Amino acid sequence: MIKKDLELLVSLQDIDLMAEEVGEMEKLGFSVSGYGELKKAREELAASISKPLVFRYERLRAKLKRAIVPVKNDICLGCFLRQPTSIGVKGREDEEIFTCENCGRMLYWLD
């Protein structure tokens, strides 16, 4: 079960990523008949996350396209800047939301 705010936010972005490519999916021959349902699921998910956080997400998304980016081997995959190893320890707990000091995106640790 997904409960933590950061995880919910990642799920929200995953739906947004999906919605961006609905046209391409349809061209490839995939069914996208549930687009309305997906949008509904997106709104329900957004409503379950704290409002200021969703606001922050939307603002970053408007400015930088991707609001949350993966961190791998301590590298922000949004701008490729190395993150201090010390924040990675806490970052991996998915409790606190850290942002990249260089690009401003929220960080999600993969490893």
Partner 1 sequence: MHRTELAKFFKENLFIANLKARRKDAAIAELLDLFVAEKYIRNRDIVLEMLHQRETLGSTGIGKGVAIPHGRTTAASEVLIAFGKTETGIEFDAIDDKPVHLFFMVIAPPNDEGNVYLPILGSLVTILNEKSNRDRLLKVENYADFIALVKGE
**Stretches 36-44, 51-59, 79-87, 96-104: which one binds partner 1 (CB under 8 A)?**
36-44
- Residue 44 or 52: the one with the smaller Cβ distance to partner 1 is 44
Contact call for residue 81 and partner 1 (CB under 8 A): no
Subset of residues 50 to 109 that bind Zn ion, contact rule: CB under 5 A: 76, 78-79, 100, 102-103
79-87 contact pairs (CB < 8 A, 24+): 79/103, 79/105, 83/107
**CA-based nearest residue to 87, from 96, 79, 56, 78:** 96
Count of residues of this chain found to bind partner 1 when the rule CB under 8 A is applied = 36
